[in-house]
Chains A and B, each alone.
Chain A
Amino acid sequence: GEDVEQSLFLSVREGDSSVINCTYTDSSSTYLYWYKQEPGAGLQLLTYIFSNMDMKQDQRLTVLLNKKDKHLSLRIADTQTGDSAIYFCAENPRDSSYKLIFGSGTRLLVRP
């Protein structure tokens, strides 16, 4: 089946690292994505990882993928107040005509 789960809320202090977790159930997914949504806006792609990789780093962002446990995480180093937003992970099941299945979203609040 297709189901993506995330914790709903995370609060961190400015300068600390944030780790947002996601679990998915469809092992056929070839790509997994992280999107950021600011209030009243569309989604911005942050990064994505291919299923045969276990880590990808892009500046302050690090994505870890544990395919055995179907667990994906996004680490934001040196979190800033501008990082406050909702973060969605999404999977792209192989036989789904490229549609994305989104998690419930994690609201990240960065405290000064």
Chain B
Amino acid sequence: GAVVSQHPSRVICKSGTSVKIECRSLDFQATTMFWYRQFPKQSLMLMATSNEGSKATYEQGVEKDKFLINHASLTLSTLTVTSAHPEDSSFYICSARDRGLEAFFGQGTRLTVV
């Protein structure tokens, strides 16, 4: 299947700083990318949907000014966690979808804010 690469896989940052997570589709063009957040032993919660060249659509309760999403090309979306706090520590997963039925997932990024 297609490959989605997410980087970094792990990041530790200080409280108050910003962290950028990249999601790349390596061998297909992703018209739509999704960002999920997963707390320990819980399900994936959709944060936002981004379409190339347009603004992301955020799910209810997700602060768009805190979680900045940029989908500047058909192969790259970025999630920036701004002014991170310990409660933002989580596992963030992106997925990318072409025009087919399948969404391909990245490996996830473990964010720890200290």
Cα–Cα distance between A27 and B106 once the two chains are bound (Å): 29
A35 proximity list for chain B (CB < 8 A): 105
Q: A40-B108, A88-B43, A97-B49 are in contact. Are A45 and B97 (CB under 8 A)?
A: no
A-facing mask of B32-50, CB < 8 A → 1, else 0?
1010000000111010010
Q: Does A57 contact B (CB under 8 A)?
A: no
Smallest CB-CB separation from A103: which chain B residue? Answer: B43
- Return the contact of A42 from the options B6, B42, B43, B57 (Cβ within 8 A): B6
Q: Does A100 contact B (CB under 8 A)?
A: yes
Q: Does B85 contact A (CB under 8 A)?
A: no
Q: How far in angstroms is the closest Cβ of chain A from B13?
A: 19
- Return the contact of A105 from the options B32, B43, B105, B108 (Cβ within 8 A): B43
Q: How far in angstroms is the closest Cβ of chain A from B44?
A: 5
- Return the contact of A98 from the options B1, B32, B104 (Cβ within 8 A): B32
Is the Cβ of B44 less than 8 Å from the Cβ of A102?
Answer: yes
Q: Does B110 contact A (CB under 8 A)?
A: yes
Smallest CB-CB separation from A43: which chain B residue? Answer: B105
Smallest CB-CB separation from B6: which chain A residue? Answer: A42
B57 proximity list for chain A (CB < 8 A): 97
Smallest CB-CB separation from A86: which chain B residue? Answer: B41
Identify 25 residue pairs between A and B in the complex whose beta-carbon atoms are under 8 Å apart, listed by A's number: A35-B105, A41-B107, A42-B6, A42-B93, A42-B106, A42-B107, A43-B44, A43-B93, A44-B105, A45-B1, A45-B102, A45-B103, A45-B104, A88-B43, A88-B44, A97-B57, A98-B32, A98-B103, A99-B49, A100-B95, A101-B46, A102-B43, A103-B43, A104-B42, A105-B43
